[in-house]
Structure 1
Amino acid sequence: MLGSGLIKGLKETARNFVGSYVSEERLPTIEYPEEPAVVKENSRQFPFLVYDGDEPEAGLRCVSCQICEKECPPKCIYIVKAKDKKPDFVGKQQVYPATFDIDLSVCMSCGICAEVCPFEAIFMDTEFDLANSNRFDGLLVTKEHLAKPNAHLQKIHPTLAAGIDQRRAEAVKKQEEKRLADEAKAKADAEKKAAEAKSASSAATPASTPAAGS
């Protein structure tokens, strides 16, 4: 039917207009910035780095693999690897970034960096009010400002964070079970070798000859 799309749009507009008088959920506008905007969970703005624990440098998940830097369409990510390593959440030694910068004036919030990250270290933030009078240095964000705790991820993307936390907890549990199994095996091997050595020593010792006339 000709004009059916227009009629459908007008019906939706009228429904929201009338509904706004009885339901706050249908209010089309808010008094921003006095009233903060409610951001949906699947909203994405600019990237940030996640760290575990209380120390950003020690708990940073990023291992400086540079996949995000290579896949970034506008090439707004700049990473320099550190020369040393630090243990990750399961105790494995990993490289970490000495420098991790993102130029927000170039970033187009596509989210590809978050999609390709194999270490679940970079995600899209929901913060959007980042206006700055300095379009150059003011929008060049360094590692220190990009790093945010896992609690922030849990707050803005609770569903996503819950799944990640569960996988990481299972990985830690699996690593701990492996460590305990290795320790038990090493202990059993050591006891076996000690028993074999003791048995060999006993077999090599000649039996004492009884005294004459006894």
Structure 2
Amino acid sequence: MSDQRDNYMFGLGVLKGLGLAFRHFLETYLDDIRHWGKRYKSPEGIAYRASKDVRGIFTVQYPDEKIPVPEEFRFVPFLIYEEKDGVNEYRCTSCGICAKVCPPQCIWIVRASDPNTGRPIPDPADFYIDIDICMNCGYCAEYCPFDAIKMDHNYELASYERTHNVYDKTKLGKPVSYYASIRPINYQREETARIEAESQRAVRKSHA
């Protein structure tokens, strides 16, 4: 039995592996001929290469071409703010949950204080993320109770200085419209839930 298994692994098994590689080799050229150059340098070609229907091997001419990332793709987090009367109001309340659940501990928050009383207020004076340490796990976004921090799609973050990779509140901040543009399904679901919660609170107040 052992000899038969060895013969299969070093005989038919090798041929099967070579056959698979040869099939991919042929499919590469057949797919190119089938689409006659339209697989490249066009939005339709990029969309096709990002689909499950693609066959064979293909090249992405990066950075001239970029394969669209799926909505659930996640990279370095960003903070959401809402633009009201020309003022950027961050959703973050500096509760610190994101910093507590962060596995590599790359988040630290400076909580703002009332200038008159010195008491802490629900607003971050500053917010830092070391993107060299961040593992892009998404725990911060998952556990945030205020939908204040979300995972980004921007992966082109190279820099020449190590200090440039410690992002502060200003560099992390992006408008809610940006979040809606990169994650439309998630945004719509969250907004629907938010509206329903507000309507329920209004009903409870009216009956109080």
TM-score normalised by length of structure 1? 0.69
Q: Could you tell me how far apart the structure 1 residues matched to 2:72 and 2:108 are?
A: 26
Q: Which range moves more in the overlay, 24-33 or 145-154? A: 24-33
Q: Deviations over 1:139-182 (max 9, x none)?
A: 11111121111111111111111111111122233334445x26
CA 1:11–1:56 in structure 2 vs 1: closer, same or farther (change >3 Å)?
Answer: farther
Q: Deviations over 1:39-84 (max 9, x none)?
A: 2212111000112234796531111111110111111101121224
Structure 1 match to 2:118: none
Q: Could you tell me how far apart the structure 1 residues matched to 2:75 and 2:20 are?
A: 31
Q: Could you tell me how far apart the structure 2 residues matched to 1:12 and 1:118 are?
A: 47
Structure 1 match to 2:132: 105
CA 1:133–1:9 in structure 2 vs 1: closer, same or farther (change >3 Å)?
Answer: same
Structure 2 match to 1:19: 31
> Cα offset for 1:102?
0.5
CA 1:9–1:98 in structure 2 vs 1: closer, same or farther (change >3 Å)?
Answer: farther
Structure 2 match to 1:77: 107
Q: Which has the larger radius of gyration?
A: 1
What residue identity is the alignment partner of 2:148? A
Matched, 1:39 2:69: yes
Structure 2 match to 1:203: none
**What is the SS of the residue equivalent to 2:162?**
coil
What residue identity is the alignment partner of 1:31? Q
Q: Could you tell me how far apart the structure 2 residues matched to 1:143 and 1:20 are?
A: 47
Structure 1 match to 2:53: none
Q: Could you tell me how far apart the structure 1 residues matched to 2:134 and 2:158 are?
A: 14
Matched, 1:117 2:113: no
TM-score normalised by length of structure 2? 0.70
Matched, 1:30 2:60: yes
Q: Could you tell me how far apart the structure 1 residues matched to 2:60 and 2:85 are?
A: 37
Aligned length: 172
Structure 2 match to 1:139: 165
Segments of 5+ residues of structure 2 without an aligned counterpart are: 1-7, 40-44, 50-56, 115-120
CA 1:160–1:16 in structure 2 vs 1: closer, same or farther (change >3 Å)?
Answer: farther
CA 1:54–1:113 in structure 2 vs 1: closer, same or farther (change >3 Å)?
Answer: same
Matched, 1:66 2:96: yes
Q: Could you tell me how far apart the structure 2 residues matched to 1:10 and 1:67 are?
A: 52
The sequence identity of aligned pairs, in percent, is: 35
Q: Which range moves more in the overlay, 120-129 or 31-40? A: 31-40
What residue identity is the alignment partner of 2:60? I
Q: Could you tell me how far apart the structure 2 residues matched to 1:143 and 1:29 are?
A: 37
Structure 1 residue corresponding to 2:184, chosen from 136, 158, 161 = 158
